[in-house]
Amino acid sequence: MPRLDRTSTHRAAPAPVRAVHLGLGAFHRAHQAVYTMVDPEWGIAAYTFRSTTLPRQLTEQEGLYTVQTHGEDGPRVQVVDSISRAHPGGDHEQWLADLSSPEMALVTLTITEAAYHVSTPLDGTALGKLLAGLQERHRTGGAPLALVPCDNLPGNGGVLRAALLAAASDATPEFRTWLSEHVSFVDTVVDRITPATTDAALATVARELGVHDQVPVVTEPFSEWLLRGRFPQGRPRWEQSGARFVDDLDAYEQRKLWFLNGAHTLLAYTGPALGCTTIDEAVRHPRLEAWMESWWDTAECHAELPGDELRDYRGKLRERFASRGIRHRLLQIAADGSQKIPARILPVLRAERALGRMPASAVAALAGWVIHLRTQDVRDPDAEKLTALAHSDEAVLHLLGALSPELADDRELVTAVEERRSDLETG
């Protein structure tokens, strides 16, 4: 069987590289790369820290791969050709050359929520890599640039700006001025469920297209991209693929974080305790479904968008979560809980506690997180500290304090989480 490449699929040569992506993985390939494909004048140079195998495989396929959209009527397979080059993170000289090129107009990022925290040393971190590239751009002429973070953080453009300025605290005043005046930070909301790829995806490509794709991506039909910000050197025509440029992004950001991501977090931590392994299994469990609906009811009380719009969004989420074509594993979603819970769960919890109410769904999410830390192979930037706390005396008290000190001072909340944890542990 021929390998997927530009010859076997009759594709033109790679597009000229005008965009860089940091964080090459399944989500980028199912989302931003698909949107960019609409504009043949924009190619992407994509970099990843996590793998040397993925860039090699994409290079062997001349940047091509397939996206399999799984709906209730079976998979639809699409060849994506917007990645012109793929590189491992260690290809530092090429990274500096790309970031300093005056033809390069923008950088998109999917580096996970945890990567926006400034750590010492910066070497080897995503922020360190980005900072080095920006310093090289400044040194070689300082053409303007747009940075477009695509991770699930409130105000992600502002978060990235603050993180880079903090990371550049020892840089020259000239560089810091240039960073503030010539680099724009674009806020975004991104949404497309992208589970881990299985061997079945390779067989689907072979059956549907008659070629071998080493690195297919599986995703859902739904996709959303909302953006707010400036692009001083231009951008691809993303709106022709459905992206929307809006002035008021905050309410949509809140909707995504609370309703989709918040429900995912709730199910990811409570589902395994009740025998579920994927989102579609969890939403068919009566107890978990009731908690999810309760969470949405609670979040709706504090959300900024109109109720009819939120109810429509909830209906779409029910369909997306229940789709048997997307096997989104709960333990995949459960990674990096210490970074996700503060944005997804705590704002609603705080609003409820200020009104003297104890939201059962938020309590369940926190209790499930404690159990996760006690029983699973934890993936979290603070994994060692959190797992030690989870096995200590008064584990709930210490873990809530690790999330936010005022939570540990709320003795009623601590008791409620302890009771729910005991309830979940006994099934």
Strands ordered across the beta sheet of 187-191: 187-191, 224-228, 244-245
Distance, in Å, from the CA atom of 280 to the CA atom of 218, rounded to the nearest integer, reads 15
Helix%, strand%, coil% for the chain, nearest 5: 50, 15, 35
pLDDT tens for the 427 residues of the chain, in order? 899 999 998 898 999 999 999 999 999 999 999 999 999 999 999 999 888 999 999 999 999 999 999 887 778 999 999 999 999 999 999 999 999 999 999 999 999 998 999 988 898 899 999 999 999 999 999 999 999 999 999 999 999 999 999 999 999 999 999 999 999 999 999 999 999 888 899 999 999 999 999 999 999 999 999 999 999 999 999 999 999 999 989 999 999 999 999 999 999 999 999 999 999 999 999 999 999 999 999 999 999 999 999 999 999 999 999 998 888 999 999 999 999 999 999 999 999 999 999 999 999 999 999 999 999 999 999 999 999 999 999 999 999 999 999 999 999 999 999 999 999 998 7
What number of CA atoms fall less than 13 Å from residue 372's CA on the CB side? 30
* Nearby residues of 203 by Cβ (< 8 Å), 6 or more positions away: none
Per the structure block, which two tokens stand in for 175? 């560089």
pLDDT tens for 172-220 read: 999 999 999 999 999 999 999 999 888 899 999 999 999 999 999 999 9
Helices (H) then strands (E): counts for the chain: 21, 12
Per the structure block, which two tokens stand in for 315? 């209906």
Burial 259-269 (b: 16+ CB within 10 A, else e): bbbbbbbbbbb
Domains present along the chain, CATH in parentheses:
17-245 (3.40.50.720), 250-425 (1.10.1040.10)
Per the structure block, which two tokens stand in for 71? 């709906």
Task: Give the residue carrying structure tokens 């790679």.
Answer: 14
pLDDT for position 123:
86
In angstroms, the Cα distances linking 334 to 26, 262, 280, 328, 343 are 17, 11, 15, 11, 14
Task: Give the residue carrying structure tokens 């925290």.
Answer: 117
Name the nearest CA neighbour of 217 among 383, 358, 33, 87: 33
- Number of residues that make up the chain: 427
